[in-house]
Structure 1
């Protein structure tokens, strides 16, 4: 009797590490896989299926409620209440290659070898494609585009037609936007701000000494329904090397193209700045500014202005 009792309390044989792992994966005595029986695995599987279905349904319901509170076209926070604010910045095209996305340098070698400047031309061609299509599809202009003749504002949910045919031929695809010749054209545009409207200058604003002299006569002539654009060298040496500058179709953007209200197919108006005789072989720092009564300039935050550099290698 004592011998049987001692066998009953005999401890199990100590298993090796490999045997313990094998037994954990499948225990033939208890019919357990990874420490659980088949019924236990079934119960926990059903539990997690129900748990994640409830979790997904909860988030789907919250997302549905959230989307009921927003408008897909009209932002809830606008102008001064938004993160963007009510003071527009400027952008320029062409942009450097993707690998130099943070660069602001337009650097090329003029001449007949297309590979030296084709990136800059192609970048502008790509940007202007929607404008060219809008010019060609004259029959479809009525959908979302108004002609806005004589400064007439656009109808609701429409925007004014921006006719790129009025741009001087020197800044055209046929002339490679001047990059082949070494007198490049740079496109300047305002960044979009929903429902922002420019305010015209008044004669009293001429007291502001920061307004460029080239713009003052236009304000005096009451040509104030325009956001004026000016580009100049940032420093004394840059001013000396930048050479004469022309603006196409004219030195500004008409008020009729604003406000931007997320109209379908909206095309931002722009100005082509033609640098006619920049000094080759010299890095030129250029700053372009937009001028309207409610546009403030901050060089650090690049509000109301844009900076880029121009470097042209000679033949």
Structure 2
């Protein structure tokens, strides 16, 4: 029994001595000077690493331009997007509450295109790229929503949804420095045997070169993309069926047939209108 008690006390004493040994002054197996040296080493070591990281970040930032990305070769052609922001549009023309989300989406998107705001922008020369290399703050070419006429939401507040002939807005993604050759225009087709009647605004879906190039968010702060509105002129025979529609940008060197990217220069969406 005495041996067991002595062994138990020895273990307890050994454990306590490891935490703090009053005879040697060691804490967790190290003296105060040893702890000071190892902490000093880690402070210097990690301080050196932090300094190296800060230096390399500073050097890298010196190579960047606040106005233009350093590397822009991954996306040579823009993608197409639509508004309202849905790829499957289902419209019940007799139920305003059902299609109101599409109408509100279009209205919100076109706020920046209101004629009163666009009057403050420049009336650029049509048919020519608007180059502004010497100006730090770039001017913006005017694009009024009234140019979208029947799809502007001005005369018809429902953008044709109440009539069962909905409007869809097509826009190209922004790419800094893009200068498309030729005369770009948007062309839409329905994937079925018979053609679907559509009306384009501006006329023939043209995208004027004067809206290019785009100089970036900082230099071109108030820039608005040119739009093409497509009014789907559906008839009674077109109702109650899903219509698959593909829109492409054509008439220029912009790509629209890359099978690896379904949105490069084109977009496909579906529309179904019921009474």
TM-score normalized by structure 1?
A: 0.69
- 2:83 is the alignment partner of 1:93: yes
Q: Distance in 2 between matches of 1:138 and 1:162?
A: 6
- Which residue is equivalent to 2:186? 229
Which ranges in structure 2 are unaligned for 5 or more consecutive residues? 1-5, 133-137
Q: Give the Å deviation of 1:285.
A: 0.8
- 2:212 is the alignment partner of 1:258: yes
Q: Give the Å deviation of 1:40.
A: 4.4
Q: Deviations over 1:28-84 (max 9, x none)?
A: 646655555555444444433333332222111111111111212223334xxx111
- 2:232 is the alignment partner of 1:275: yes
Q: Select the residue among 116, 131, 137 that pairs with 1:136.
A: 116
- Which residue is equivalent to 1:165? 146
Q: Give the Å deviation of 1:147.
A: 1.1
Give the secondary structure class of the aligned counterpart of 2:200.
strand
Pair 1:62–1:248, CA change in 2 (3 A): same
Pair 1:31–1:291, CA change in 2 (3 A): same
TM-score normalized by structure 2?
A: 0.78
- Which residue is equivalent to 1:304? 265
Pair 1:138–1:232, CA change in 2 (3 A): closer
- Which residue is equivalent to 2:197? 244
Are the equivalent residues in 1 in contact too, given 2:191–2:245 (CA < 8 A)? yes
1:101-250 matches, within 5 Å, as 104-114=87-97, 116-132=98-114, 135-137=115-117, 141=120, 145-151=121-127, 153-154=129-130, 156=132, 157-172=138-153, 174-200=156-182, 226-236=183-193, 239=194, 243-250=196-203
Pair 1:45–1:293, CA change in 2 (3 A): same
Q: Deviations over 1:246-296 (max 9, x none)?
A: 111222111111122222221110101111216222111110011123133
Give the secondary structure class of the aligned counterpart of 1:58.
helix
Pair 1:48–1:169, CA change in 2 (3 A): same
Q: Give the Å deviation of 1:233.
A: 0.7
Q: Distance in 2 between matches of 1:153 and 1:257?
A: 7
Are the equivalent residues in 1 in contact too, given 2:146–2:152 (CA < 8 A)? no
Q: Give the Å deviation of 1:230.
A: 0.9
Give the secondary structure class of the aligned counterpart of 2:159.
helix
Q: Give the Å deviation of 1:231.
A: 0.7
Are the equivalent residues in 1 in contact too, given 2:147–2:202 (CA < 8 A)? yes
CA RMSD of aligned residues (A): 3.0
Are the equivalent residues in 2 in contact too, given 1:193–1:260 (CA < 8 A)? yes
1:8-157 matches, within 5 Å, as 13=9, 15=11, 23=16, 26-27=19-20, 29=22, 34-36=28-30, 38-78=32-72, 82-85=73-76, 87-96=77-86, 104-114=87-97, 116-132=98-114, 135-137=115-117, 141=120, 145-151=121-127, 153-154=129-130, 156=132, 157=138
Q: Give the Å deviation of 1:95.
A: 1.3
Pair 1:160–1:108, CA change in 2 (3 A): same
Are the equivalent residues in 1 in contact too, given 2:124–2:142 (CA < 8 A)? yes
Residues matched between the structures, number = 255
Are the equivalent residues in 2 in contact too, given 1:169–1:175 (CA < 8 A)? no
Give the secondary structure class of the aligned counterpart of 1:288.
strand
Are the equivalent residues in 2 in contact too, given 1:178–1:185 (CA < 8 A)? yes
- 2:248 is the alignment partner of 1:289: yes
Which ranges in structure 1 are unaligned for 5 or more consecutive residues? 1-9, 97-103, 201-225
Pair 1:53–1:232, CA change in 2 (3 A): same
